[in-house]
Chains A and B, each alone.
Chain A
Amino acid sequence: SQTIHQWPATLVQPVGSPLSLECTVEGTSNPNLYWYRQAAGRGLQLLFYSVGIGQISSEVPQNLSASRPQDRQFILSSKKLLLSDSGFYLCASAQGLAGVNEQFFGPGTRLTVL
């Protein structure tokens, strides 16, 4: 079975500072990868997904960006954080078509922007 690692686990950053969150996947190859944000402790919002190296699709326009430099590495970045970027960020991995196979989630990163 696959394992998803995320770091850091928690992060406190000032407004206007840069951001880099990393996600790596073990136990699978060529996965589809996803970044979600969960604000206010509830609903999940899909931010980005990637079906391969260098292929990124954005679901919501924002000041965040994503990159996939390696098959099992997915990075979420920002040049200048906003207060509204605070939340719980989850990375997920799925094999094959997202609609067919379940997504497996990492432990998440809790980001607080002050």
Chain B
Amino acid sequence: AQKVTQAQTEISVVEKEDVTLDCVYETRDTTYYLFWYKQPPSGELVFLIRRNSFDEQNEISGRYSWNFQKSTSSFNFTITASQVVDSAVYFCALSEARGYSTLTFGKGTMLLVSP
């Protein structure tokens, strides 16, 4: 069975600080996909990134970056120079890419960025 652990329940930072959200996953499959979603106070989940298990290259998109390490089964998310608008709950998710597989979500990390 697959599992996603986000050990950080809540993180509070001051604007312009860098912050890293941790994600550790468990799966028996060699082919799988990892995702990050953002849930702002409005409630709607916003897709941020998808990585497949064969691509361990780190990715940067503006202030966002992702560090995928298969050796430690981690897919961490870093926000550089955080802003108040980054305040949200962030979810890491995993899917084993076979059949009609579904997403397994972590419990989420609430990020509070204060001015």
A interface with B by C-beta (< 8 Å): 32, 34, 41-44, 46, 49, 51, 57, 59, 88, 90, 92, 97-108, 110
Docked Cα-Cα span, A104 to B45, in Å, equals 8
Contact B101 A98 (CB under 8 A): yes
Contact A110 B43 (CB under 8 A): yes
Is B105's beta carbon under 8 Å from chain A? yes
Contact B47 A97 (CB under 8 A): no
Closest A residue to B36 by CB, please name it.
A102
Docked Cα-Cα span, A92 to B95, in Å, equals 15
Contact B35 A102 (CB under 8 A): yes
Report the tally of A-B residue pairs with Cβ distances under 8 A.
63
Q: Cβ of A105: which chain B residues have Cβ within 8 Å of it?
A: 37, 44-47
Q: Cβ of A57: which chain B residues have Cβ within 8 Å of it?
A: 100
A18 to chain B, nearest CB (A): 24
Is B42's beta carbon under 8 Å from chain A? yes
Q: Cβ of A99: which chain B residues have Cβ within 8 Å of it?
A: 32-33, 95-98, 101
Docked Cα-Cα span, A105 to B96, in Å, equals 20
B98 to chain A, nearest CB (A): 7
Residues facing A in B22-57 (CB within 8 A) are: 32-33, 35, 37, 42-47, 50
Q: Cβ of B105: which chain A residues have Cβ within 8 Å of it?
A: 43-44
Contact B102 A49 (CB under 8 A): yes
Contact A108 B43 (CB under 8 A): yes
Contact B102 A88 (CB under 8 A): no
Contact B102 A106 (CB under 8 A): no
Contact A102 B47 (CB under 8 A): yes
Is B89's beta carbon under 8 Å from chain A? yes
B34 to chain A, nearest CB (A): 10
